[in-house]
Amino acid sequence: MSMESLRSIRVRLRRLLKWDTLAIANVVLLICLLVLLARVNILAGLRNIPPTVVTLLVALVTFSGVAWQTNRGFRNLIASQEHRAKIGAIAKSW
């Protein structure tokens, strides 16, 4: 693959993947993992959960929270900048 085709793939992926999609995917993965754990009957005794599974669960929950907060932060930042631009335009028209 050439560098241009790799760049175009990256651009397409960036357009397709949004924070909301990523957060929803993390929640779905978490639910699937919990269903899998319930079927294996690991949830019966919390002491028997392997450390790797706990680490994966915590990482998924944490990453989902960070993704959600980042999404909200950027949304608020953009809204704030648009509001300040409107106020600046109004002030210049006076």
| pLDDT tens-digit map of 43-58 | 566 677 788 988 998 9
Task: Evaluate if residue 32 carries a pLDDT over 90.
Answer: no
- Which residues, other chains included, contact 27 with Cβ-Cβ below 8 Å and sequence gap of 6+? 64
C-alpha distances (whole Å) from 36 to each of 5, 49, 77 are: 38, 12, 39
User: In whole angstroms, what is the distance from residue 87 CA to residue 45 CA?
Assistant: 59
pLDDT, mean of residues 75-89? 92
Q: Domain tally for the chain?
A: 1
- Determine the Cα–Cα distance for residues 63 and 22; give it in Å rounded to an integer: 9
The reply to whether the predicted model has a pTM over 0.85 is no
Q: How confident is the model at residue 9 (pLDDT cuts 50, 70, 90)?
A: confident
The predicted structure's pLDDT at residue 43: 55
Cα–Cα distance for residue pair 58/22, rounded to 1 Å? 16
Domain that holds residue 16: 3-93
